[in-house]
Structure 1
Amino acid sequence: MQQRQLGAGGPMVSAIGLGCLSFGGLFGATTDDESLRCLDAAWDHGITFLDTANIYGVGRSETVVGEWLRTRKRRPVIATKASIVPGPARRIDNSAPHLRAELEGSLRRLGIDHVDLFYIHRHEAARPIEEVAETLAALVREGKIGGYGMSEVAPYTLERAHAVHPVRAIQNEYSLWTRQPELGLIQRCAALGTAFIPFSPLARGALGHTMLDPATLTPGEFRTQIPRFSAENWPRNKARIEAFRAYAADRGLSPAALALAWVLAQGHHLIPIPGTRTAAHLAHWAGASDITLSPEDQSEIARLLPIGWAFGDRYDDDQATTVERYC
């Protein structure tokens, strides 16, 4: 596995990390044993960067990662997040008392005394980001976190926070079907020495090894609310994806590996974090950092999946309320 730096002054990590959202059950039923096997497989493939959050399964993902750390005695680089307050009136809280309390809870579940990277999961719109950056900078100085990051934010928020204290990483959705970060965010991260962490680089499973069928998703599952998987939009998206899958097969690659190789090729400061809950799925893309795309590959991928090809938005209106928009 190739290595990349997690932001200026940050540690070296595997070029591909592991998103641990699925350990919380958001994308279907799972077991802790299955998640532990997935973590074992990730380590065996050279993955040294794990990404979780307090809200993933309401602490379950962090607890599973903590159990793996305790029983396997491994020392990966860990990132976690806080700010989303669940409930009927779901809200965002970036206040210092909330972030400090949630960080302490995460550390207890993980069984460690500090975390390498701590994100605000969303920016609380009414709270100046400079205030939030001061809170996070204090946690760095206290040794509670190695660095801080932000998720689903705009370039202007990165600029303002970075002026207070360097931002180690930005985590936004980015893949062959979600390209908005190309409109300034990826570039600003590169200029400031901030790592860019694409989440859902396999398009919520749409670019996975097996063709996804939205009709088989569990009722109420997160993806059933995403417009791109709707009965109206999915057939159009599927036709594009099938052509991409055929091209990957001609190259002797899984579609997941090819999609990840494309993300990695967009900049050396990109560290994608595909998620899965099974060792079998992980094996389909874990070697993507060793794939070199030729100019011909890049051109053909651009023809098959041109910018803006996806039908439907990446979130519905309720899901998008806490995401910063800049285009």
Structure 2
Amino acid sequence: MPEYGYFLATEEFRPAELVEQARMAEQAGFQSLWISDHYHPWNDAQGESPFVWSVIGAISEAVSLPVETAVTCPTVRIHPAVVAQAAATCAVLTNGRFRLGVGSGEALNEHILGHVWPPASVRLEMLEEAILIMRRLFTGEEISHYGSHYRVENARLYTVPDEPVPIDVSGFGPEATALAARAGDGYITMMPDEEMVTQFRKGGGHGKPVLGGTKVCYGTDRDEAVRTVHRLWPNQLLPGEMGQILPSPRHFEQLQPLVTEQMVRENTVCGDDVGEHIDVLNAFAEAGFDRIYVNQIGPDQRGFFDFYRTNVLPQLLR
């Protein structure tokens, strides 16, 4: 049986709100937490973007649930040696209940220091080298590294957990999925794609967890829920590589007219139909996912957690 977790959206909520949502998730019966790692929100309507490592520190004191970033880009905005230190500290704070989810990133968050945003093939090379560096640092030994993309000299993490931090790799296409199978301790993707799960397991991921996530908008008024998704998260329905290459929230806002309310209605679970919420999560379970995370879009967080505690999770976990 899969585990079910809650996905905290740093793009939409302030730090104290995220900590309170973590508490509500634990009380509702969710088994773990994901938390996004952004420098910018996708648009100004979302309106937030706190530093994820500070928020995880607060969450570690508020709940006992495992926590994972979904996902951190350890390649451009922050050097992998620094990400390794942050991840190791989070693992110590959570008594080993932290996993580091990583991916090749988006220009929206990573180009802010003025570096050229590399093409996808180079970003994947950088990610694989970053994973190697972080794994070496998690040993607690002093390392030096002179690679194609990074230099590390005489670096040692003195605060490390008893076991190395697991690194799960995000992938949405064949190349990234192959990298996840080759270099990751698990695989993260946001679509219930059985073909990608099979590729991951056959490519070296056998026995490693597959983790997925989805967004919903619970509400008693379905039309209002659709409008909420359309206002806050139209970016999730943009096609192609735009999510990886557009550099600022205003560029995503300029493309919002491409996403209609009808598209939201057809592609996002909105409203309070229990069956629809269960079906979208079961699609991941049927595709072979081991852990499935759900995020509530919009302000009615307490209503969502009450709904899932009483109507959804009991049917999924029985």
Q: Specify if TM > 0.5.
A: yes
Structure 2 match to 1:154: 173
Structure 2 match to 1:40: 23
Q: Paired residue for 2:293, among 267, 270, 273?
A: 273
What is the aligned-residue identity percentage? 9
Any conservation in 2 of the 1:52–1:62 contact (CA below 8 Å)? no
Aligned-pair Cα RMSD in Å: 3.9
TM-superposed deviation, 1:152: 3.2
Any conservation in 2 of the 1:20–1:51 contact (CA below 8 Å)? yes
Structure 1 match to 2:67: 78
Per the alignment, in what secondary structure is the counterpart of residue 294 of structure 2? coil
Structure 2 match to 1:307: none
Query: Using the alignment, how far apart are the partners of 1:241 and 1:215 within structure 2?
Result: 11
Structure 2 match to 1:297: none
For 1:154, the aligned partner's letter is G
Query: Using the alignment, how far apart are the partners of 2:180 and 2:52 within structure 1?
Result: 28
Are residues 258 and 160 of structure 1, via their aligned partners in 2, closer, same or farther at CA, if it must alter by over 3 Å?
Answer: closer
**Structure 1 unmatched runs, 5+:** 5-14, 85-91, 176-180, 293-327
Per the alignment, in what secondary structure is the counterpart of residue 21 of structure 2? helix
Per the alignment, in what secondary structure is the counterpart of residue 274 of structure 1? strand
Query: Using the alignment, how far apart are the partners of 1:238 and 1:216 within structure 2?
Result: 6
Any conservation in 2 of the 1:42–1:282 contact (CA below 8 Å)? yes
TM-superposed deviation, 1:101: 0.6
Any conservation in 2 of the 1:186–1:196 contact (CA below 8 Å)? yes
Does the alignment pair 1:237 with 2:263?
yes
Runs of 4+ in 1 over 6 A off after TM superposition: none
1:129-148 to 2 correspondence within 5 Å?
130-142=128-140, 143=160, 145-148=164-167
Are residues 279 and 133 of structure 1, via their aligned partners in 2, closer, same or farther at CA, if it must alter by over 3 Å?
Answer: same
Query: Using the alignment, how far apart are the partners of 2:256 and 2:92 within structure 1?
Result: 40
For 1:121, the aligned partner's letter is G
Query: Using the alignment, how far apart are the partners of 1:188 and 1:130 within structure 2?
Result: 18
Query: Using the alignment, how far apart are the partners of 1:197 and 1:238 within structure 2?
Result: 24
Any conservation in 2 of the 1:82–1:103 contact (CA below 8 Å)? no
1:1-327 to 2 correspondence within 5 Å?
4=2, 15-21=3-9, 24=10, 26-27=11-12, 30-55=13-38, 58-70=49-61, 72=62, 74-80=63-69, 81-83=71-73, 92-93=75-76, 98-105=79-86, 112=93, 116-122=98-104, 125-126=121-122, 127=125, 130-142=128-140, 143=160, 145-160=164-179, 162-163=181-182, 165=183, 167-174=184-191, 181-182=193-194, 184-191=195-202, 192-199=206-213, 201-202=214-215, 205=216, 208-209=218-219, 210=222, 211-213=225-227, 217=231, 221=232, 223=234, 226-227=237-238, 230-231=256-257, 233-237=259-263, 240=266, 249=273, 253=274, 255-267=276-288, 269-276=289-296, 278-286=301-309, 288-291=312-315
For 1:283, the aligned partner's letter is D
TM-superposed deviation, 1:188: 2.6
TM-superposed deviation, 1:43: 0.9
For 1:64, the aligned partner's letter is V
Any conservation in 2 of the 1:130–1:160 contact (CA below 8 Å)? yes
Per the alignment, in what secondary structure is the counterpart of residue 213 of structure 1? helix
TM-superposed deviation, 1:98: 0.8
Any conservation in 2 of the 1:82–1:99 contact (CA below 8 Å)? no
Scaled by the length of structure 2, what TM-score is found? 0.60
Are residues 138 and 155 of structure 1, via their aligned partners in 2, closer, same or farther at CA, if it must alter by over 3 Å?
Answer: farther
For 2:4, the aligned partner's letter is I
TM-superposed deviation, 1:232: 5.7
TM-superposed deviation, 1:83: 1.9
Scaled by the length of structure 1, what TM-score is found? 0.58
Any conservation in 1 of the 2:230–2:260 contact (CA below 8 Å)? no
For 2:260, the aligned partner's letter is W
Any conservation in 2 of the 1:79–1:118 contact (CA below 8 Å)? yes
For 1:138, the aligned partner's letter is R
Query: Using the alignment, how far apart are the partners of 2:86 and 2:292 within structure 1?
Result: 26
For 1:234, the aligned partner's letter is T
Query: Using the alignment, how far apart are the partners of 1:238 and 1:52 within structure 2?
Result: 23
TM-superposed deviation, 1:161: 5.4
Any conservation in 1 of the 2:227–2:261 contact (CA below 8 Å)? no
Any conservation in 2 of the 1:19–1:52 contact (CA below 8 Å)? yes
Per the alignment, in what secondary structure is the counterpart of residue 275 of structure 1? strand
TM-superposed deviation, 1:256: 2.6
